[in-house]
C-alpha cells in the first residue's frame, strides 16, 4: 500500500494533517520545542542524552532499519542528517508494522479495559490514535513502543494552546476562526474521553499534560493512506485455522485432497485481492517512528509506503542527499495555516500557501482567495463576476474589484510587512509565540502584496 500530522505526508501514506497528520519543523523555520543540547542547561542536556540513548536502543530492538540516517541539530533545529549518501528513490528507512501505532477502519477497540469501546468506535481517527498513545504510555516500558513514546516532545505549543490575545497577533481572521473551532472541538472530545475512561484505570487525565499532549503529537506526526486489510501473517494464521477446520471436514466427508486444497487457495487469493483492491476505498493511519522525526520541506517529494507482503512501512524521496546533509520529507500539500495550526511553524515561501478573507462586494460577502503565485482563484473570480451581474462583469471590472479587495485587506492589517520584518530582526525581544505569529502574518502579507502588484500590472496592460 502506498500511504499519504490532518493536520494529518504520503502513506502512499500521506502526512496527516487533515486532512490524515510528525514537534513539526520546516526547512525555513525552527521549532519552538527547544534548543540544541549544547545550548541547554547541563541537567537538561543529560536527560535528553539519556532519552536519546534509550530511544536508539529501542529502535534497534524493534527492528527499525535506518543505517543512513542519524539525529542531528541544525542551529536550534533538530532533524535528521545523512551519514552516507542517499540516492533518489532509495528506501532508507524501514519500520515494521509492529513498531508503529496504527488505527485501521472499523477495527474493534484494542483497549476495552482502558476506555469504553462505544466511545472508541464513534471517535474520529485522531482521537482513537490519541487514546492508543495514552494507553501505551500507561504501560511504561512494558509497551512495545515505549522508546518511541519517551522521546516525543512534551509540548508542541500549537495555537490550540494560545490565548485570544496571542491569536489576535496572527492578524488573520481565517486562521483564528479555524483555531477557535479546533479549541472547542478538542475540549468536547476531552470531556467525552474523560467520561469513557474505565474505572479500573485508576487515574484522571489532565487536559494539557495528557490529552492535549497526545492530540498534538498525533496530528503533527500521523500518516494516512489506503487501507490494505490485515497483513499476510494474519492471513496465514487465518489460513491455518481454515486448514485445521477444513482438514477435519474433508476427512469426515472423504473429499478428494485436490478439491479441498483448491478451495483453501481460492479463499486465500480472494482475501488478498479484496485487501489490495476493494479495501483501498478505506483509510488507515499510522505513527511511524524515525520517519516522523524528519523535518518538512514543500520542495521535496517523499513517500511512506506500506509493503503488504513484508508488513513494513518504508520511506523514500525523489531527492538525493549527500553525507552530512539534512534530510527532508514532505508532510503533504499544506498551507501555512495548516502548518501553523497542527505543526506550530510557518514555511517561508510556501508554494502551497493561500490567503483567504471575506470582502464586501455589492453589499454581499464574498470569500476571496489568493494563491502563492499572487493569483485569485477561478472560484473567487467567478463569485465576483456573479455579484457584478451581466452588465458589470467584464474582465476589467472584475480585476478592479479584486484589486480593491486585496488593497483593503492589506491596508486593514495593524502592522505592515516592513514592520514585521523589523520585529523579526530582534527576536530576543519577543516570546516564542509572538515570533511565530509575526513569521506567519508576514508570509500572508507577502501574498497580498504579490496579488496587488499582479492585479495592478494586469490592469495597466489592459489599459
Residue 63 sits in the same domain as residue 197: yes
Predicted local distance difference test score (pLDDT) of residue 40: 45
Asked if residue 334 is part of any domain, the answer here is: no
Asked if residue 18 is part of any domain, the answer here is: yes
Residue 163 sits in the same domain as residue 253: no
Asked if residue 339 is part of any domain, the answer here is: no
Residue 67 sits in the same domain as residue 147: yes
Residue 308 sits in the same domain as residue 450: no
Residue 123 sits in the same domain as residue 51: yes
Residue 297 sits in the same domain as residue 277: no
Predicted local distance difference test score (pLDDT) of residue 238: 46
Predicted local distance difference test score (pLDDT) of residue 234: 54
Asked if residue 98 is part of any domain, the answer here is: yes
Residue 239 sits in the same domain as residue 294: no
Asked if residue 268 is part of any domain, the answer here is: yes
Domain count, the chain: 3
Residue 183 sits in the same domain as residue 266: no
What does each of the 463 residues of the chain score in pLDDT, given as a tens digit? 444 444 444 455 555 433 343 344 444 443 333 344 444 456 777 888 888 889 989 999 999 999 999 988 888 788 999 999 999 999 999 999 999 999 998 899 999 999 999 999 999 999 999 999 999 999 999 999 999 999 999 989 999 999 999 999 999 999 999 999 999 999 999 999 999 999 999 899 999 999 999 999 999 999 988 877 665 555 555 445 444 544 444 444 554 545 544 544 554 454 455 445 544 568 889 999 999 999 999 999 999 999 888 899 999 999 999 999 999 999 989 999 999 999 999 999 999 999 999 999 988 999 999 999 999 999 999 999 999 886 666 888 999 999 999 999 999 999 999 999 999 999 999 999 999 999 999 999 999 999 999 999 999 887 7
Residue 132 sits in the same domain as residue 207: yes
Burial class (CB in 10 A: 0-12, 13-18, 19+), 440: buried
Predicted local distance difference test score (pLDDT) of residue 389: 82
Identify the domain containing residue 237 by its residue range.
Answer: 232-281
Rounded distance between C-alpha atoms, residue 416 and residue 202, angstroms: 53
CATH code at position 181:
3.90.1410.10
Rounded distance between C-alpha atoms, residue 401 and residue 321, angstroms: 47
Asked if residue 338 is part of any domain, the answer here is: no
Residue 419 sits in the same domain as residue 290: no
Q: Minimal CA–CA distance to 337: which of 11, 16, 43, 17?
A: 17
Rounded distance between C-alpha atoms, residue 230 and residue 271, angstroms: 9
Measured N-to-C along each axis, helices 432-462 and 336-343 cross at an angle, to the nearest 10 degrees, of: 170
Predicted local distance difference test score (pLDDT) of residue 312: 93
Asked if residue 345 is part of any domain, the answer here is: no
Predicted local distance difference test score (pLDDT) of residue 35: 40
Residue 25 sits in the same domain as residue 171: yes
pTM: 0.83
Can you say whether residue 202 is alpha, beta or left, with left for phi > 0 and alpha for psi between -120 and 50 degrees?
Answer: left
Predicted local distance difference test score (pLDDT) of residue 365: 94
Asked if residue 335 is part of any domain, the answer here is: no
Predicted local distance difference test score (pLDDT) of residue 354: 97
Residue 72 sits in the same domain as residue 194: yes
Amino acid at each position: 500500500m502506498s500511504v499519504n500530522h490532518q493536520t494529518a505526508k504520503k502513506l502512499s501514506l500521506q502526512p496527516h494533517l487533515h486532512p490524515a497528520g510528525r514537534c513539526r519543523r520546516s526547512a525555513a523555520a525552527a521549532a519552538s520545542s527547544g534548543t540544541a543540547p549544547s545550548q541547554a542547561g547541563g541537567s537538561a542536556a543529560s536527560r535528553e542524552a539519556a532519552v536519546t540513548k534509550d530511544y536508539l536502543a529501542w529502535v534497534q530492538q524493534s527492528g527499525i532499519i535506518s543505517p543512513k540516517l542519524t539525529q542531528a541539530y541544525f542551529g536550534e533545529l533538530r532533524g535528521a542528517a545523512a551519514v552516507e549518501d542517499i540516492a533518489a528513490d532509495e528506501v532508507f528507512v524501514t519500520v515494521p508494522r509492529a513498531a508503529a501505532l496504527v488505527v485501521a477502519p472499523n477495527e474493534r477497540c484494542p483497549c476495552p479495559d482502558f476506555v469504553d469501546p462505544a466511545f472508541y468506535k464513534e471517535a474520529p481517527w485522531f482521537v482513537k490514535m490519541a487514546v492508543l498513545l495514552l494507553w501505551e504510555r500507561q504501560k511504561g516500558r512494558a509497551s512495545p513502543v515505549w522508546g518511541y513514546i519517551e522521546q516525543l516532545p512534551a509540548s508542541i505549543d500549537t495555537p490550540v494552546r494560545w490565548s485570544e490575545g496571542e491569536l489576535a497577533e496572527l492578524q488573520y481572521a481565517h486562521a483564528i476562526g479555524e483555531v477557535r473551532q479546533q479549541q472547542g472541538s478538542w475540549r468536547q472530545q476531552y470531556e467525552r474521553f474523560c467520561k469513557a475512561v474505565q474505572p479500573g484505570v485508576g487515574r484522571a487525565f489532565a487536559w494539557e499534560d495528557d490529552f492535549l499532549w497526545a492530540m498534538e503529537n498525533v496530528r503533527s506526526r500521523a500518516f494516512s493512506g489506503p487501507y490494505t486489510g490485515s497483513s499476510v501473517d494474519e492471513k496465514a494464521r487465518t489460513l491455518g485455522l481454515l486448514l485445521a477446520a477444513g482438514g477435519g471436514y474433508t476427512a469426515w466427508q472423504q473429499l478428494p485432497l485436490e478439491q479441498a486444497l483448491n478451495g483453501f487457495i481460492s479463499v486465500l487469493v480472494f482475501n488478498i485481492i479484496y485487501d489490495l483492491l476493494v479495501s483501498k476505498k478505506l483509510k488507515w493511519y499510522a505513527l511511524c517512528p524515525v520517519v516522523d522525526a524528519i523535518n518538512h520541506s514543500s520542495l521535496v517529494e517523499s513517500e511512506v509506503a506500506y509493503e503488504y507482503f513484508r508488513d513494513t512501512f518504508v520511506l523514500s524521496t525523489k531527492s538525493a542527499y549527500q553525507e552530512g546533509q539534512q534530510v527532508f520529507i514532505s508532510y503533504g500539500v499544506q498551507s501555512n495555516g495548516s502548518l501553523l495550526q497542527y505543526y506550530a511553524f510557518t514555511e517561508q515561501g510556501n508554494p502551497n500557501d493561500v490567503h483567504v478573507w471575506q470582502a464586501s462586494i455589492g453589499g454581499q460577502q464574498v470569500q476571496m482567495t489568493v494563491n502563492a503565485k499572487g493569483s485569485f482563484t477561478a472560484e473567487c473570480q467567478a463569485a465576483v463576476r456573479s455579484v457584478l451581474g451581466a452588465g458589470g462583469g467584464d474582465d476589467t471590472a472584475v480585476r478592479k474589484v479584486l484589486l480593491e479587495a486585496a488593497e483593503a485587506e492589506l491596508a486593514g492589517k495593524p502592522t505592515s510587512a516592513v514592520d514585521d520584518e523589523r520585529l523579526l530582526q530582534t527576536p530576543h525581544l519577543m516570546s516564542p509565540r509572538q515570533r511565530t505569529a509575526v513569521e506567519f502574518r508576514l508570509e500572508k502579507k507577502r501574498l497580498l502584496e504579490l496579488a496587488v502588484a499582479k492585479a495592478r500590472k494586469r490592469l495597466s496592460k489592459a489599459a
